[in-house]
C-alpha cells in the first residue's frame, strides 16, 4: 500500500486530518495510518478514501513493486548482518528512508536491523535504543511478533556494551524464557529469514550467558542452534556457534583434543561461509589458548 497517494490527495484538497476523519474515525487512527503505516479497518479506510475521491485499490497501484524492492534490500542486509559484513550492511541501510516504508513488517525488519547493527558496532548507541523502542512501543506494541524478541536481544546487547549487566540480564532473561517455552517446537516457518532470526536470538543470548559465566544455559542454547542449523540446512551460524562452544570448553578446561576439535570445526564452517571475521577470531583464540597451554607446561 502506498500511503503517500492518500496523503498527497488529502493535502492537495487542503483537507485537514480533523475534517477528513470527522464521523469516520478518531484523528489518532488517521494519524497512525499516515505517520506510522498502521492500517485501519477496511470499512474505515474505504470511507476515508471515498471522502478523498479515491478507492482503496488506488493505494495499491505502486506498492507491489516498491514493497518487493524494499524487501529484497532488507533481506540482503539481513544476510550481511548475519555474516558480520558490517560495511555492506551500513551501505544497504543508509539508502533506506524509514518514512518510505509503509509495510509494518518491513518497517520492523528495518528497525531491528538498524538497531542491531548500531548496537553491535558501537555506532550511535542512542539510535539503537530508539530503533528497538519503535518496535516495542509502536510497531509491535502487543509483542506478538518475533521482532519483539529481537528487540529484547538488541537491548540486551546495548546494555551489555555499556557494562550494565543487570539491565542486560533483564532483557536476555525475557529471551531465555521465550526460547525455553518454545524449546520443543521445530519452528516450522516459511522462509529462511525466519530461521536466521531465531538463530540470531539464540546466538546472542548464548554469547551473553558466556559473558556472565552461565555455561549451562549457553550450552543448551548452542545445542539448540546447531540442531536448528542441521534441521534447516543453514550454515550461516554454525561457525559462530562452534566458536562459542570452543570458548566454553577452554573456560571449563576441557581436554585439549576436544578444544582443538571445536576450533577446527568452527574454522571449517567459517571457510565454507567465507566468514573472515570468525576466521580471525579463531586464530586469535587459538593463539591465546596455545600460549596458556605452553605456560602451564613450562
The answer to whether position 214 is within a domain reads no
Residue 124 included in any domain? yes
Res 111: pLDDT = 96
**pLDDT over threshold 70, residue 188:** no
CATH code of the domain containing 51 = 1.10.260.40
Assigned domain for 241 exists = yes
Residues 196, 239 share a domain: no
107: pLDDT strictly greater than 80? yes
- Indicate whether 131 belongs to any domain: yes
Would the pLDDT of 187 be above 70?
no
168 in the same domain as 70? yes
Same-domain pairing of 136 and 81 = yes
23: left (phi over 0), alpha (psi -120 to 50) or beta: left
* pLDDT, position 186: 47
- 180 closest CA partner among 216, 147, 207: 216
pLDDT at 244: 97
Q: Are 83 and 124 in the same domain?
A: yes
- Residue range 256-273, pLDDT digits in tens: 999 999 999 999 999 998
Q: What is the per-residue pLDDT for 239?
A: 95
Domain final position from 39, 61, 83: 61
Evaluate whether residue 211 is within a structural domain: no
Decide which of 179, 202, 225 is a domain's last residue: 202
Q: Are residues 55 and 69 in the same domain?
A: no
Average pLDDT, the chain: 89
60: Cα within 13 Å, side-chain hemisphere: 6
Q: Which of 202, 223, 251 corresponds to the end of one domain?
A: 202
Whole-prediction pTM: 0.76
Question: Residue 159's domain is classified under what CATH number?
Answer: 1.25.40
Q: Which one has a higher pLDDT value, 184 or 38?
A: 38
Q: Percentage of the chain with pLDDT > 70?
A: 93
Half-sphere exposure of 227 (CA within 13 A, CB side): 12
Greater pLDDT, 121 or 297? 121
Is residue 240 included in any domain, yes or no?
Answer: yes
Looking at the structure, tell me whether residues 91 and 156 fall in a common domain. yes
pLDDT at 141: 84
pLDDT at 139: 92
* pLDDT, tens digit (0-9, with 9 covering 90-100), for 239-259: 999 999 999 999 999 999 999
Q: In this structure, are 29 and 117 located in the same domain?
A: no
The total number of residues shown for the chain amounts to 298
Domain that holds residue 30: 3-61
Give me the pLDDT at residue 3, please: 86
Residue range 4-34, pLDDT digits in tens: 889 998 999 899 999 999 999 999 999 999 9
**Are 121 and 39 within one domain?**
no
Residue 63 pLDDT: 56
Q: Are residues 197 and 246 in the same domain?
A: no
Does residue 230 form part of some domain?
Answer: no
The answer as to whether 229 is a domain residue is: no
User: Tens digit of pLDDT for each residue in 123-172?
Assistant: 788 899 999 999 999 999 889 899 999 999 999 999 999 999 999 999 99
Mean pLDDT on 177-189: 66
Distances (CA, A) of 192 to 13, 74, 97, 112, 179: 45, 13, 25, 17, 18
Q: Is residue 169 located within the same domain as residue 53?
A: no
Residues 107 and 142 in one domain: yes
Is there a single domain that holds both residue 38 and residue 75?
A: no
Does 292 score more than 90 pLDDT? Answer: no
Q: What is the pLDDT of residues 36-55, one digit of tens each?
A: 888 888 889 989 999 999 88
Tally the domains of the chain: 3
Percent of the chain residues topping a pLDDT of 90? 59
C-alpha distances (whole Å) from 239 to each of 6, 57, 72, 89, 194 are 48, 47, 25, 20, 19
Q: Quick: pLDDT tens for 67-79.
A: 777 888 898 899 8
Q: How many CB atoms lie within 10 A of CB 126?
A: 8
Cβ atoms of residues 76 and 194 within 8 Å: no
Amino acid at each position: 500500500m502506498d500511503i503517500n497517494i492518500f496523503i498527497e490527495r488529502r493535502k492537495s484538497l487542503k483537507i485537514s486530518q480533523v475534517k477528513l476523519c470527522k464521523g469516520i474515525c478518531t484523528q489518532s487512527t488517521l494519524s497512525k495510518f499516515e505517520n506510522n503505516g498502521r492500517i485501519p479497518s477496511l470499512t474505515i479506510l474505504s470511507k476515508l478514501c471515498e471522502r478523498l475521491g479515491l478507492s482503496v485499490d488506488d493505494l495499491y497501484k505502486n506498492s507491489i513493486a516498491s514493497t518487493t524492492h524494499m524487501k529484497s534490500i532488507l533481506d540482503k542486509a539481513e544476510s550481511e548482518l548475519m555474516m558480520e559484513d558490517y560495511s555492506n550492511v551500513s551501505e544497504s541501510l543508509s539508502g533506506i528512508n524509514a518514512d518510505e516504508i509503509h509495510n509494518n513488517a518491513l518497517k520492523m525488519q528495518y528497525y531491528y536491523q538498524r538497531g542491531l547493527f548500531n548496537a553491535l558496532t558501537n555506532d550511535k548507541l542512542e539510535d539503537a535504543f530508539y530503533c528497538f523502542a519503535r518496535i516495542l512501543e509502536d510497531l509491535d506494541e502487543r509483542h506478538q511478533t518475533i521482532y519483539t524478541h529481537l528487540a529484547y536481544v538488541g537491548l540486551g546487547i546495548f546494555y551489555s556494551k555499556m557494562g550494565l549487566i543487570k539491565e542486560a540480564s533483564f532483557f536476555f532473561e525475557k529471551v531465555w524464557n521465550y526460547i525455553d517455552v518454545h524449546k520443543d517446537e521445530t519452528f516450522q516457518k516459511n522462509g529462511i529469514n525466519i530461521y536466521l532470526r531465531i538463530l540470531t536470538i539464540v546466538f546472542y543470548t548464548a554469547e551473553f550467558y558466556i559473558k556472565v559465566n552461565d555455561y549451562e544455559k549457553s550450552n543448551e542454547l548452542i545445542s539448540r542452534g546447531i540442531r536448528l542449523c542441521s534441521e534447516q540446512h543453514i550454515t550461516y551460524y554454525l561457525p559462530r556457534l562452534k566458536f562459542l562452544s570452543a570458548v566454553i570448553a577452554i573456560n571449563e578446561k576441557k581436554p585439549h583434543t576436544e578444544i582443538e576439535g571445536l576450533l577446527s570445526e568452527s574454522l571449517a564452517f567459517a571457510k565454507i561461509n567465507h566468514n573472515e571475521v570468525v576466521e580471525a577470531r579463531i586464530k586469535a583464540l587459538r593463539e591465546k589458548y596455545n600460549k596458556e597451554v605452553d605456560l602451564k607446561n613450562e
